[in-house]
Structures are given as C-alpha cells and as structure tokens.
Chain A
Amino acid sequence: MGSVFVILQRFLPEFLKGTAVTLELTAVGILLGFALGLTLALMRAYGSKPLRIIAIGFIELFRGTPLLVQLFLIYYGLPSLGLTLSQSVSAYLALGFNSAAYQAEYIRGAIQSIGESQMTAGRAIGLSRWQTIRFIIMPQALRLVIPAWSNEPISLLKTSAVVFLIAVQDLMARGKRAASITYNPIGSYLAIAVIYLVMVFAMSALLKWLERKTKIPGFEMETEAA
C-alpha cells in the first residue's frame, strides 16, 4: 500500500494537471448539459407537439446509447461527414449532450411535481404563460430538482474517465501513464482513485450546501397538495 504514496509523490504534478482536466470536463459537461437540458425540459413540458417530439427524440437517443459510443461517433464518426473536432471539443460535446438528456429528465420531473395549479394561480393574476413559467414555476422547480439532480455532477465526474480513450489527458489518462511507466497498476490506479474520491466528497459537500442555501422555509415536495 505504501506504493500509493510513492506514486502520488512522484506523479503529483502530472495528476494535478489531470485533475484540472477532469474538473474542467465535468464543469463544461454540466454547464452545457444544464443549458441544453433546461431547454429540452421546457420543450418537453410546454412546447408544441413538434418541439416535444424533438426533445423526446434527443433525450431517448442520448440516454439509450452508451456514452462511449457517442464519444466515438463524435470524434471518429463526424470527420467522415466533413466535421473534424479536436479531442477536447469532442469530449465536451459528448459529455454535455449525454448529461443534457439526464438533466432534462430531472428538471421535467420537478416541473411536473409543481403541477398545473401554480400555473393557474399565475395566469389568474394576469401573468402570461411564459411569465408564469419564468417567475413562478421554474424558481420552484429548480429548487426542488437539486436533491435528485445532485447525482448528475458526481456521476459525470466519474464517467468522464472514458475520454482517455480518445487520448484526452484527464486524470484517468495520467493514471494509466503512471501505471505503464512504473509497472505498478495497483498503486497507480489506487492513487487516482483516491483523488477521484476526494473530488466526489468535495462536490457532495458543495451540493449539500447549495441545497441548504436555496431551501425555502415550509416549502417541501408537497406543493401539489397545498
């Protein structure tokens, strides 16, 4: 077990660079996924029929196929259609699109749990449909979604490790390199596992803080019952 520390010591600068790449991939994936996922959720919950179908198609496609297949299609497949993307852009897009599909479903679930009655109440004082969605429904839905949605950044942080397969130099790639240099796979992979674990703990703490911070007194999942 001592070898973990030896490897951590020897490859620390490498691992830190890899950690930065992993965090960057996760952040971009989450942000892109949130922006797109929010749009998809709104399309699915409030859009016209064609918009709903597009949203459902996107969500099912990206939830129904492996992330790795999506990544390879973007990185190796798109060039044959004349669109060549760099390794990192391919990784951003694959993680972002994949995460968008999941985030869309979390957000849609929260929107549905708010129910029609808040829409009725908003319309009744003269707010338009979009004003009600923006000022009444979404502020509540985005608070309610936090506990379930919190899985997503943590899950994405870990699954982002697949990008080493297109040679993005994330933490996983650095771990693999350390393993092949030292011929010590256990020590190398345990070392990066520890770093992943620390990141996950830190992220969980941050998300818990966010959940507490946005909590409204007396406001629980029981909205519909009133």
Chain B
Amino acid sequence: MPNPILVVKDLTKKYGDNIIFHDINMTVNEGDTDVIIGPSGTGKSTLLRCINLLTKANSGQIWLDGEEITAPGYDEDEVRQHVGMVFQNFLLFNHLTALDNVKIGLSKVKKLKDDQAEAKAMQELDRVGLADRAHHYPGQLSGGQQQRVAIARALAMDPRIMLFDEPTSALDPELIGEVLEVMRKLALDGMTMLVVTHEMGFAREVSDRIIFLEKGSIVEEGPPEVLFYTPKFERTREFLWKITELYGKKESDS
C-alpha cells in the first residue's frame, strides 16, 4: 500500500480578487517523485510555498505524514524542519561557508552539538559531491555548486519530503546536469520529492507522476508515459512537447 506523505485538499490561494490557484487536490506518496509542470504564472511556486507554510493559503487543508499542518495553532517552524525546500535562486546564506550553510539548521534548529552538526553537515555535502568545497563561500561557488549546497542544506534536516521550485531555471545550461544528477540520485535513494520544473527529460525519466497545472487548477495528472503519449487533453500534450523542445537542448548537453 502506498503511504501518503503529503496530502493537499481543496487548497485555494488568492491575493485580493486575483485567484492564484483554487481547489487543488493532490497526494504525494512515500518514495515518489512527482513533477508539477505548467505555464508560468499558474501558481506553481506559490503552491510549493503554501505547502511549506511560507505563504498562507486562503482555504483548504494540508496533511504531512497524517498530521494536519494547516490546523490552527500548528507550529510552523516545526513543519518546515520536515519539509525541505530548494529555491530557484539557491538563496544560500551569503555570509556563511558551504559547510556553515548546511550546519546552521543543525546547530540552531536541531540543537546538535557542534562536532555532531559539523560531521552531519560534512556528510550531506559529500552526498551532493561538494565535500571539497566545504570552506568556500557562496560567492566563490558556481551556480550549480550553490544549488547543490542548497540541496544539502535542506537534506541535513532529514525532511520527510523535498520541494524543488524550478531548481535549474536560474542556471547556465552547462551547470544544469550536475544539479539534475543529484536530484536523480535522491529519487533513486527513495526520497519523496515534489518538483516544479521545465526539465522534461528529468520528468520523463525520474518522475512517478506528472501534474499539469494551468490557470490555477490541475488539468491532468498521471504517469509520464501516459501524459506524454496518451493524455486526456490535447493541450497537455501540446504543452509537454513544446516545453520538451524548448528545454530539450539543455538536457542533452548535460
């Protein structure tokens, strides 16, 4: 039986009269990698931010590991420890070395002892292949390396699920591959992931399910082979192939 890690029910977000998305329902099962695709401005990023409680949804409910995290009075900081987030622009802490970026959550949130935090942080950097860059500052790392440190920083908290918000969109084409490689490895290791991306190669190869979001609601969802070849709606196929063509070149380079 699949074990649902994340359940989203009737989630709606609007700014004033402007509806970002409405009545979103989705479930992400343990060990799965689900990919959200859709044209820009359809609320994909906002959806991830709502799941992480960085933005408050107007209505609807979210369960993480069977607990309703949208319940009134639920400890948001506690939730975010269990939900890893990777941003489009990396958002590393610029004044800290790669190692300290990964370590700070372990020391200040998990309250690990310094040597334990350091060992664990080093282990996570090693996992993304950057142990040799531990003492570099973000400004001394390439975009791809910065994003891998950001992934290590999120992984260090031992999250139940990892959210990726267009993790390769801000990268030069030649740097995309190294980040996708780390994500691929994570997926194979059984990490539960929800990924917003335009990387169709990644979606096709790695994902268990693709969710097509347009104009604030889910148009269609299913396994990649179904969405690519036998989708229910013609516009799903159109969008998928258009994106594949646009971004396909980058992917084959990497």
Contacts and interface: CB of A to CB of B under 8 A. Distances in A.
10 contacts: A123-B54, A123-B77, A125-B105, A135-B104, A217-B136, A218-B94, A218-B137, A219-B94, A219-B95, A226-B170
Interface in A109-136: 117-118, 120-128, 131, 135-136
A121 B85 CA distance: 8
Interface of A: 117-118, 120-128, 131, 135-136, 139-140, 143, 216-220, 223, 226
B81 A126 contact: yes
Contacts of B140: 217-218
A143 B80 contact: no
B93 interface: yes
A143 B91 CA distance: 18
Contacts of B212: none
Given A135-B104, A218-B137, A124 B93 contact: no
Contacts of B190: none
Nearest to A126: B81
B94 A124 contact: no
B226 interface: no
Contacts of A136: 93, 95, 104
Contact of A216 (B78, B84, B91, B94): B94
A143 B77 CA distance: 27
A121 B80 contact: no
A106 B157 CA distance: 35
Given A124-B52, A127-B109, A216-B137, A140 B94 contact: yes
B227 interface: no
Contacts of B153: 125
B113 interface: no
A126 B78 contact: yes
Contacts of A125: 80-81, 84, 104-105, 109, 153-154, 157
